[in-house]
Structure 1
Amino acid sequence: MDSDQKHLPAGYHDVAPNMLATIVTCLEMTARPAPRANPPTDGLTVERWNAPALEDYRALYRRVGEDWLWVSRAVMEGDELAAIIEDPAVEIFSLMRNGERLGLLELDFRQAGECELAFFGLDQSLIGSGAGRILMNVAIDKAWDKPISRFWVHTCHLDHPAALAFYQRSGFRPYKRMVEIFEDPRQTGKLRADAAPHFPVLQAE
């Protein structure tokens, strides 16, 4: 580890009422893992989503991520977001049933030799149904079909409580932990005021 890297000292650190603090875990795999069987698909398919319209993309992003306080793509300027999702090195897939988009998978190959699992999420109605395994199997296959040596992802404790264990079962290995502090998007109107009820809003005194 870089000895010059700064770390928070041991102890408690106050966070302003309008800010959120979360523990981020970074995970990686450096070889394709052994395949895991898909559960019954129950009519679900995973389809490539080429150059989605910004509002359609943001709608699905919010659908799967708002209650886990996903905010970055919801507030990103349109030109900046379009440059990412239209980049040929970024591959976007959606989990579909009867024409409805119920899950988001985004693979970012912009760093040579690597793939970032940039976004991975399901509609709340599918959590615990096995749909996550279907989507992850596609993610692993699509990532390792390219000439990469590393596939990585990060998650935080604002995500679904089963997310970290799911990534580990899928073959990812934790390698770094960070603290992220950012403005609470529910207090600025960037996300619903009642989003993520498992992580209450703090009111300034």
Structure 2
Amino acid sequence: MLADGLHDVPLGKIATVVTHLEMRARADISGRAAPEGWTLRRVENPSLGWYRRIFQAVGEDWLWFSRRGLSDDALAAIIHNDDVAIWTLSNGDTDAALLELDFRQRGECELAFFGVTPTLIGTGAGRYLMDVAIDQAWSRDITRFHVHTCTLDSPQALGFYRRAGFTPIRQQIEIDDDPRVAKGFDHELAPHVPLLLP
């Protein structure tokens, strides 16, 4: 348990507030359509290269790094699991979204990763994808649909999840290596997160 007050974060590390949210019954969906010219595509057995590219395209500005450090075997074990389902939005040869549902915990579904590239921000793609996520999650025999977001994500993320029907249930502080230091990410990424070099 953290005591009240300020706590120093070591140089080269980042601290984030993680909010866990859940949905205990299927929420209403908006009935929104995909943005004009874009098609929902289920990505069966995605190649590691494709997954890494879309993960980076969607999450790099927000310092998503958890999957980028995984070995090929570790990543394949997750994304090729029969209980993990992945979708994207496609326009011709361009993919610009990541929706990943994880059903590996019996009776539950985790919205493991969710986002669109800057190309689709403001087009309604996010709300459409959330409708897909809710529909697909509750099409299985689950009692809980859950997600977590953090202060590295878009400032709109928490409100977006709440409007979609998720309820915040828990908060945590997470401290980890800053990927701009430890993993060689571009130092210009995520200007909303101060870079403190060791």
TM-score (norm 2): 0.96
- 1:152 paired residue number: 146
TM-fit CA distance, 1:192:
2.1
Q: How many Å separate the matches in 1 of 2:165 and 2:185? A: 32
For 1:92-143, what per-residue CA distance to the aligned partner results, in whole angstroms no more than 9, with x for missing partners? 1111122311000000000000000000011012112211011111101000
Asked if 1:134 corresponds to 2:128, the answer is yes
TM-score (norm 1): 0.93
1:124 aligned residue (118, 122, 130): 118
TM-fit CA distance, 1:39:
5.2
For 1:34-90, what per-residue CA distance to the aligned partner results, in whole angstroms no more than 9, with x for missing partners? 221315621122111011111110011000001101001111111010010000000
- 1:4 paired residue number: none
| Other structure's SS at 1:75 match | coil
- 1:180 paired residue number: 174
Asked if 1:199 corresponds to 2:187, the answer is no
- 1:46 paired residue number: 40
Asked if 1:102 corresponds to 2:96, the answer is yes
Q: How many residues align?
A: 198
- 1:68 paired residue number: 62
Instruction: Detail structure 1 runs of 4+ shifted over 3 Å in the superposition.
Output: none
| Other structure's SS at 1:187 match | helix
The residue type equivalent to 2:179 in the other structure is P
- RMSD, aligned CA: 1.1
* Bigger mean CA offset, 39-48 vs 150-159: 39-48
| Other structure's SS at 2:20 match | strand
- Tell me if structure 2 keeps the 8 A contact 1:25–1:155: yes
For 1:121-177, what per-residue CA distance to the aligned partner results, in whole angstroms no more than 9, with x for missing partners? 110121122110111111010000000000000000110000000000000000000
In structure 2, runs of 5+ residues without a counterpart are none
